[in-house]
Structure 1
Amino acid sequence: MGDTSTPHTHPDAAAERGLRVLSTSDLAGIDISLADVVGTVEGAYQALAAGESDNPRKLTVTPADGHSVAYAMLGRDGNREVVAIKTSYKHGLQHGREEQHYYTTLTLYDDVTGLPVAMMDCGRIGSLRTPAVTALLARECARPGAASALVIGTGTQGRLALPFLLTTRPDLERLMLFGTHPDGVNAVREELRRHFPQREVDVVTDVRAAASEADIVVATAGGHTPAAVQADWLRPGALSILVGHGLAPSTLHRADRVVATSEAQMNVTGTDMADAAGELPAVDAEFPAVIAGTALGRGGPDERVFAYNSGLVVTDIVLGHRFAQLALDQGLGQRVSLWQ
């Protein structure tokens, strides 16, 4: 499954010298299939692995007291010939989630015409991109015949994890969920029912027992989760995917194979998984190379594989560009004469 759009088709906004601004509500109304999202994200990995794209390390700034954090990520997708910058800013880290402010934006430029494409809220882009990567990791790194999956966490990523997993692994027979928030559990069920009305999820309370039965464990929980799956709980051949929290460091350090979307990013953002000496193990394969077929996501059916899912800006770029195409086709957004 590759990028489902025409690589060199550029949105009509590129013919304007203004900037098309796409709001949260503009993007919320766009209908896009899960398979379309997965194929678009996969195309970004293929272009990156082929050396056609650029994905530099993110820049980070935070004040001394740690009350806020900001990121900037610049990248270029060579398949679509689009340059973009993503910014992310979170304020009020000393408070609960409901009191925090969080803003993320993506600005796209057409690298053929040299003109701007769009600026958009990046919330929905990120909420779809990450579980799509998880689904691709499950497709490439789970053992042959994998039949069961456990999702830990019921936030945004937890709610979309199962529908995306079933998109790339329709052979999954048993779906399990561990969550501590009843509203979140209900939201997971509703999201699964919306995409796969014939499927049900088993809500589990014993994480250890569920992890020992799962071929795929996806940890998407927040930092306060009581779940901490240990390496010796996992069955032979299990794949554990870390998106948020829910896996103990032993699942990484005792894995037979470690796969990361980016080893450099894992070394920066995965420090909570370090061992007692503050060290992280070397990565056996980066995921773009796995997608390209030049590295193995799994060496044998009984290997326990650990996969680290951190976002690459090239995946935001291609998915943002896909949304821009769909939005402009529908006449959504507002043209702003920023440079006039």
Structure 2
Amino acid sequence: MDRDDTTLRVLSTSDLAGLDISLADVVDTVEQAYRTLAAGKSDNPRKLTVKPEDGHSVSYAMLGRDGVRNVVAIKTSYKHGLHESRDQQHYYTTLTIYDDVTGLPVAMMDCSRIGSLRTPAVSALLARECATPDATAALVIGTGTQGRLALPFLLTTLPNLERLMLSGTHPDGIAAVRAELAHHFPDRKIEVVDDLKSAAREADVIVATAGAHTPAAVEADWLKPGATAILVGHGLAPSTLHRADRVIATSEAQMRVTGTDMADSSGSLPAVDLELPVIISGVYRARTSSKQRIFAYNSGLVVTDIALGHRFAQLALEQGLGTEIPLWK
């Protein structure tokens, strides 16, 4: 069916699952989105959040425009059962993209795979920009969706990493992390660590991706001079933020919305020194000393979802994937 202003192409989870995209392609797409934003060509307003008083669910709505791809998109996210275990939760996220040149809809898609790739790619970019040049040891905390791709993406941006450590408690999750690494880097091995404190003391880069119920909490005193601690989910204690020599965030505004669990006893968060887009653009450097302990907050920006979602839409359209629905007819 020809594209017109009455039909919408819907890309399902299974449609997107079959698309082949390299880790380097994902990183390049996300990095370009940051450069475009830093250049003032894209728009990324603050996300809207709705959460009931008892905290059983959370919803987000994010609108953005990519000024290089010339597309506008809206991302929605809804998670229910936050007090339950991960397998008891309900989570839905979608991305709807419109061509801002033709005015026609591009596609509406499940955003779960996009998020599962975008987030570790951002962590890998943070690691590349914040880590010391001689960084060789990485520690990933958590074996969920984000933990499983964290190491392959880190090796994509920091190929000189030698020691790959993993802190996790779920056997299936650990096996999944091993499988992902073997798929992308079959010659590399993972060291599963039981003593989180000792592992943290030896890591140059720490990526905390654990779920909200994790007992893991790396303290600032555990970090070696020059260490970079990146928070994606949970696994870092607030001290790693409040006692950091430098604080980097993808977005300070979003950190103040979604990072309240890292606030101090007075409910405050420290100021952010730099945001990732200006670092990626080359205007500023994340690190000014090899001994600085850096805390980096990865909250994601919708412009990165838009860029990666548009890339997936292009690949899907080339292969004739998706279902055309006469939504406005």
Q: Distance in 1 between matches of 2:283 and 2:241?
A: 22
Partner of 2:70: 81
Q: Distance in 2 between matches of 1:97 and 1:147?
A: 32
Matched, 1:59 2:48: yes
Distance 1:220 1:337, change over 3 A: same
Partner of 2:219: 230
Output aligned runs, 1:189-208, within 5 Å. Answer: 189-208=178-197
TM-score between the two structures when normalised by the length of structure 2: 0.97
Output aligned runs, 1:33-52, within 5 Å. Answer: 33-52=22-41
Q: Distance in 2 between matches of 1:95 and 1:161?
A: 24
Distance 1:279 1:155, change over 3 A: same
Deviation at 1:296, TM superposition (A): 1.7
Letter in 2 for 1:295: Y
Q: Secondary structure at the match of 2:75?
A: strand
CA distances 1:211-268 after superposition (whole Å, capped 9, x unpaired): 1111001100011212111111111110000001111111111111110000011111
Matched, 1:295 2:287: no
Q: How many residues align?
A: 329
Note if contact 1:13-1:116 (Cα within 8 Å) is conserved in structure 2.
Answer: no
Q: Secondary structure at the match of 1:227?
A: coil
1:188 corresponds to which of 163, 173, 177 = 177
Partner of 1:93: 82
Note if contact 1:14-1:113 (Cα within 8 Å) is conserved in structure 2.
Answer: no
Distance 1:13 1:55, change over 3 A: farther
Q: Distance in 1 between matches of 2:98 and 2:153?
A: 29
Q: Secondary structure at the match of 1:72?
A: strand
Partner of 1:248: 237
Note if contact 1:151-1:178 (Cα within 8 Å) is conserved in structure 2.
Answer: yes
Partner of 1:149: 138
Partner of 2:300: 311
Note if contact 1:13-1:328 (Cα within 8 Å) is conserved in structure 2.
Answer: no
Partner of 1:3: none
Distance 1:94 1:176, change over 3 A: closer
Q: Distance in 1 between matches of 2:83 and 2:141?
A: 24
Deviation at 1:14, TM superposition (A): 5.7
What is the CA RMSD across the aligned residues, in angstroms? Answer: 1.3
Q: Distance in 2 between matches of 1:69 and 1:198?
A: 40
Partner of 2:147: 158
Matched, 1:273 2:257: no
TM-score between the two structures when normalised by the length of structure 1: 0.94
Partner of 1:261: 250
Output aligned runs, 1:87-126, within 5 Å. Answer: 87-126=76-115
CA distances 1:19-44 after superposition (whole Å, capped 9, x unpaired): 11000000000000000000000011
Q: Distance in 2 between matches of 1:14 and 1:82?
A: 16
Matched, 1:18 2:38: no
Partner of 1:324: 313
Matched, 1:179 2:168: yes
Output aligned runs, 1:129-140, within 5 Å. Answer: 129-140=118-129
Partner of 1:72: 61
Note if contact 1:14-1:110 (Cα within 8 Å) is conserved in structure 2.
Answer: no
Letter in 2 for 1:218: V
Partner of 1:7: none
Matched, 1:218 2:207: yes
Letter in 2 for 1:134: S
Q: Distance in 1 between matches of 2:3 and 2:67?
A: 17
Moved more, 255-264 or 89-98: 89-98
Identity among equivalent pairs (%): 75
Deviation at 1:15, TM superposition (A): 5.7
* Structure 1 gaps, min length 5: 1-11
Matched, 1:336 2:325: yes
Q: Distance in 1 between matches of 2:312 and 2:165?
A: 31
Moved more, 85-94 or 265-274: 85-94
Letter in 2 for 1:312: L
